[in-house]
Amino acid sequence: MASISELGEFGLIKRLSKDIKINNSSTIKGIGDDAAVTDYKNKQTVITTDLLLEGIHFDLSFSPLKHLGYKAVTVNISDVYAMNAIPKQITVSIAFSNRFPLEAIEELYEGINLACKKYNIDLVGGDTSSSVSGLTISVTAIGEVDKEKVVYRNGAKPNDLICVSGDLGGAYAGLKLLQREKEVFKANPEVQPELTGYDYILERQLKPEARKDIIEFLEKIDVKPTSMIDVSDGLSSELLHIAEESNCGIRIYDQKIPIAEDTNKFAEEVLIVPTIFAMNGGEDYELLFTISQSDYEKVDVSPDITVIGHITEQSKGNFIIASDGTEIEIEAQGWNHTK
């Protein structure tokens, strides 16, 4: 296989983009000119960017590059779905040191292309640079939404129901498991990592999906959430964003927070209350949204959506209610069950 220095920047871009097919009619011009061109006709456009740095956002000692490419795309388009919009194009910019051979960059793009295929998005451009050390990936997604369908963080009203998709805390449990096994391996490279039986939380951490299906479901049942956000930094922090932007209070119930069996199992093993994984963990990329009570029956048919509480007046504050009825104030960081 040729080396990157033999290929040069243009050769590399050509090679990485050779199999790309344009799937969306809104993509007029993709890779290959000075800029991409899109045409959204009468729709509104949403734009979002993420920057991922090696050592800060990912650890290549346990993240396979293909998974990392996939994740870089899914976490980015999760923000588009959180606006009730449909992602259509992405750009991907990368910088990498000479520690990365062509195979590594191709693996990364295999994951990126896989996510594009699965979510029907066009990779329409990017930038490529060398770096002094490590890998940096920046993804920008562009999506479309009907003007009257866009959902912000600021529309929640008292008595609205607070809903969350899927389950929470799994990605953080997966990260803790990987970090634990890395320490064990560093201390004694003879010992094989003990990862069996934890497929679910590992997948939640390494290969998260964006909740396209939930946005499609809400469209199908004709429910427009009053507010919405994706769960990237843990439930506490996302709830507080909604409270602050919507000028309202939050009341959720500990027992209602959906947590997967594997997450509970791992939490028990490391003696941490699973609710803490859900509240303070992160990277679950589920959707947190509020609906008016009149939409409850329509939403209730989905086994993938759980009502965890309701919106109150701002003066009532933000609380999580424990199973014994104790009211605990929700804090952005360091939500502490024992307080």
User: Can you give the binding site for ligand ADP, defined by CB under 6 A?
Assistant: 13, 16-17, 31-34, 92-94, 123, 125-128
> In terms of CB distance, is 81 or 109 closer to ligand ADP?
109
Q: Which of 6, 4, 10, 8 is nearest to 31 (CA)?
A: 10
Q: Read off the DSSP letter of residue 193.
A: P
Binding of Mg ion by 9 (CB under 5 A): no
Minimum distance, C-beta of residue 47 to ligand ADP, in the bound complex (Å)? 16
Q: Name the closest residue to Mg ion (Cβ).
A: 127
Q: Which of 7, 9, 47, 41 is nearest to 26 (CA)?
A: 41
Structure tokens at 122: 């066009």
Binding at 199: pick from Mg ion, ligand ADP, none (beta carbon under 5-8 Å per type): none
52: helix, strand or coil: strand
Binding at 126: pick from Mg ion, ligand ADP, none (beta carbon under 5-8 Å per type): ligand ADP
Structure tokens at 292: 């008016």
By CB under 5 A, the count of residues binding Mg ion is 1
Binding at 222: pick from Mg ion, ligand ADP, none (beta carbon under 5-8 Å per type): none
Are the C-beta atoms of 215 and 81 separated by less than 8 Å? yes
Minimum distance, C-beta of residue 130 to ligand ADP, in the bound complex (Å)? 12
Minimum distance, C-beta of residue 6 to ligand ADP, in the bound complex (Å)? 17
Minimum distance, C-beta of residue 129 to ligand ADP, in the bound complex (Å)? 9
Minimum distance, C-beta of residue 49 to ligand ADP, in the bound complex (Å)? 14
Q: Read off the DSSP letter of residue 212.
A: H
Minimum distance, C-beta of residue 105 to ligand ADP, in the bound complex (Å)? 9
Minimum distance, C-beta of residue 283 to ligand ADP, in the bound complex (Å)? 24
Q: How many other CB atoms are there within 10 angstroms of residue 9's CB atom?
A: 12
Binding of Mg ion by 39 (CB under 5 A): no
> In terms of CB distance, is 127 or 216 closer to Mg ion?
127
Binding at 34: pick from Mg ion, ligand ADP, none (beta carbon under 5-8 Å per type): ligand ADP
Stretch in the footprint of Mg ion (CB under 5 A) among 26-34, 121-129, 246-254, 314-322: 121-129
Side-chain half-sphere exposure of 297, counting CA atoms within 13 A: 1
Q: Report the chain's terminal Cα–Cα distance, integer Å.
A: 58
Binding of Mg ion by 127 (CB under 5 A): yes
| β-bridge pairing 318-321 and 248-253 | parallel
**Which stretches within 88-198 are classed as H helix?**
102-118, 170-187
Maximum Cα interatomic distance, the chain, rounded to a whole number of Å: 66
4: helix, strand or coil: helix
Binding at 31: pick from Mg ion, ligand ADP, none (beta carbon under 5-8 Å per type): ligand ADP
Binding at 234: pick from ligand ADP, Mg ion, none (beta carbon under 5-8 Å per type): none
Are the C-beta atoms of 305 and 214 separated by less than 8 Å? yes
For Mg ion, the binding residues (CB under 5 A) are 127
